[in-house]
């Protein structure tokens, strides 16, 4: 059994970690992007389906392309961040299940036109999980994120997944070393009894 993380680790991952609107000039390396993936891929997904497809926008050209798909406030954040990330989802993830989940014929669970909605829901749920793992992996490695909606999904899909029509965007995020001057005060986080029931 694993021991609980210490308070410093819990603070870094959750309690004092924040969503950033802007970043310092400190760069993010390609090695750090690989390190994030190598952590986030270890998080659980249904039948190890790993449906997320990530586009890491590092070049000015890529960030400009992404910013053009977003509402103005988000576009400014994307252009100013060292890296911006598109977290997409592969609606045909099941085609890789013989490789990713070889223990049984999991592909057959998702095969057929009548399973299209099941595949979509599964891809959305599990790519969202992977997006959360991305945030925690970045924090664990000393980086900060700014996950966001506020963009045109169809435009992002056309700009970044035109050659992969089965991949659709889920959400986007900025990534870097957060600038504390760009965040608001912590929004409310209600206690257990407000939103939880034990039965």
Residue 185 pLDDT > 90? yes
Burial letters 95-134, b for 16+ CB under 10 A, else e: eebeebbeeeebbebbeeeeeeeebeebbeebbbbbbebb
Question: CATH classification of 30-180, choosing from 3.10.150.10, 3.40.50.720, 3.40.109.10, 3.90.1150.10?
Answer: 3.40.109.10
When the pLDDT of each residue in the chain is averaged and rounded to a whole number, the result is 97
Question: Could you tell me what percent of the chain has a pLDDT over 70?
Answer: 100
Q: Which of 155, 137, 157 is nearest to 147 (CA)?
A: 137
Question: Could you tell me what percent of the chain has a pLDDT over 90?
Answer: 98
pLDDT at residue number 166: 98
Q: What pLDDT digit, counting tens, does each position of 20-31 carry?
A: 999 999 999 999
Q: What pLDDT digit, counting tens, does each position of 74-100 carry?
A: 999 999 999 999 999 999 999 999 999
- Distances in Å between the alpha carbon of 82 and those of 28, 78, 91? 6, 8, 29
Q: What pLDDT digit, counting tens, does each position of 125-136 carry?
A: 999 999 999 999
Domain layout of the chain by residue ranges: 30-180
Residue 8 pLDDT > 90? yes
pLDDT at residue number 162: 97
Residue 5 pLDDT > 80? yes
**What's the average model confidence in pLDDT over 171-175?**
98
Whole-prediction pTM value?
Answer: 0.97
**What's the average model confidence in pLDDT over 126-149?**
98
With contact defined as beta carbons under 8 Å apart, do 66 and 57 qualify?
Answer: yes
Distance CA 109, CA 113 (A): 12
pLDDT at residue number 193: 98
Chain center to CA of 191: 26
Residue 35 pLDDT > 80? yes
């Amino acid at each position: 059994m694993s021991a609980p993380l210490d308070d410093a680790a819990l603070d870094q991952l959750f309690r004092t970690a924040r969503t950033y609107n802007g970043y310092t000039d400190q760069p993010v390396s390609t090695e750090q992007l690989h390190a994030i993936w190598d952590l986030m891929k270890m998080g659980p997904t249904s039948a190890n389906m790993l449906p997320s497809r990530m586009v890491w926008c590092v070049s000015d050209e890529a960030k400009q392309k992404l910013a053009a798909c977003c509402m103005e406030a988000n576009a400014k954040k994307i252009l100013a961040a060292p890296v911006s990330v598109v977290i997409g989802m592969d609606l045909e993830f099941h085609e890789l299940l013989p490789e990713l989940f070889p223990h049984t014929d999991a592909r057959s669970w998702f095969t057929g036109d009548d399973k299209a909605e099941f595949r979509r829901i599964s891809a959305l749920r599990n790519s969202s999980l992977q997006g959360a793992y991305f945030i925690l992996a970045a924090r664990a490695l000393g980086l900060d994120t700014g996950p966001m909606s506020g963009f045109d999904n169809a435009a992002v899909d056309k700009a970044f997944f035109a050659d992969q029509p089965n991949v659709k965007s889920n959400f986007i995020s900025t990534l870097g070393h957060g600038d504390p001057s760009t965040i608001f005060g912590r929004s409310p986080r209600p206690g257990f009894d407000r939103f939880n029931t034990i039965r």
